[in-house]
Structure 1
Amino acid sequence: MQLFVYGTLTDPTRVEALLEETDATAAFEGSATLEGLERVEGRYPTLVPAPDADPESSVEGQILTVDEAALERFDRYEGVDQGLYVRVAVPTTDERKLWTYVGDPDRLGVDASDWATDDHFRDAIRRYVARHVTVGGIHE
């Protein structure tokens, strides 16, 4: 599996520390661009929809290839079980499974109007990403 990371998980030292004393593995595979989202700073960095789903908006990040144990460890680190972040699948043009984390803007102190919806936040993220986000390029 692969993760698109754009915040603290782009730091190899942080990734190594998180996986220390585990059998989990993760390896940086290169850089990538997510189109249709923007990175914003709040309590922690997160992603928000690009204005009017502008395909020119993008986020630069890194690709981490991870095993199931590393993915579980990163989910805990990102607070997925507490609802701080949601791990969401990003559509790709090939068969690879690519995931990224999107933080709850209310909990991170970010303007939430871009995610305005009557649906649950997690559902809104998944629907938006499936419709508007693409991987611009993976550079290994």
Structure 2
Amino acid sequence: MDVFVYGTLTEHTTAKAVLDEYEYRCSAELVGLHRIDGRYPTLGPGGTTAGRILETPDIESLDEYEGVDRGLYYRQSIPRADASDTVACYIGDPDAVNAPTDWPGDGSFQRRVERFCSQNDVVVRTT
């Protein structure tokens, strides 16, 4: 699976400690979301974020590292700007990671992220 990474996983030392198998594919830009530094890096509505595309079959280890089961991060599928497929992207719940941002709308954090991404044409563009 391809994953857009923008924080600690952009570094080989972190990826190597978390994943048994991975490869950095290329540099990329997430269009429509910007990086926010809280207790852990996360994303907020609007702007752009520089990062990398990481390919790994070990998505369960990434979910564990990102705290998906603990409600820290949610794995969102983001369309590629130049292809018909998607990449995964981990987005931290602002309350859980102590980040100064709000996601518009009502409902769960996951639902607000999904709605914003689809209504605002959020995409990943390779650079």
TM-score between the two structures when normalised by the length of structure 2: 0.91
Question: Which residue pairs with 2:107 in the alignment?
Answer: 119
Query: Which amino acid is the alignment partner of residue 31 of structure 1?
Result: S
Structure 2: 5+ residue stretches without partners: none
**What residue is the counterpart of 2:70 in the other structure?**
82
Give the aligned residue type for 2:10.
T
Which position in structure 2 is the counterpart of 1:58?
48
The answer for unaligned runs of 5 or more in structure 1 is 51-56
More helix by share: 1
Return the structure number with greater strand share: 2
Contact 1:2–1:65 at 8 Å: present in 2 too? yes
Q: CA RMSD in A?
A: 1.3
Report if the CA contact (8 A) 1:91-1:130 is conserved: no
Q: 1:129 and 2:117 equivalent? A: yes
- Name which of structure 1's ranges 5-14 and 116-125 shifts more when overlaid on structure 2: 116-125
What is the match of residue 106 of structure 1? 95
- Counterpart of 1:12 in structure 2: which amino acid? H
State the aligned residue count.
125
Structure possessing the higher radius of gyration over alpha carbons: 1
- Given that residues 36 and 100 in structure 2 are in contact (C-alpha distance below 8 angstroms), is that contact kept between their aligned partners in structure 1? no
Pairing of 1:3-82 with structure 2 (within 5 A): 3-19=3-19, 24-50=20-46, 57-67=47-57, 70-82=58-70
Cα deviation code 1:61-86 (max 9, x no counterpart): 0000111xx11101100000111000
Percent identity among equivalent residues?
41
Q: Work out the CA distance in 2 between the residues paired with 1:86 and 1:123.
A: 10
Local SS of the residue matching 2:69: helix
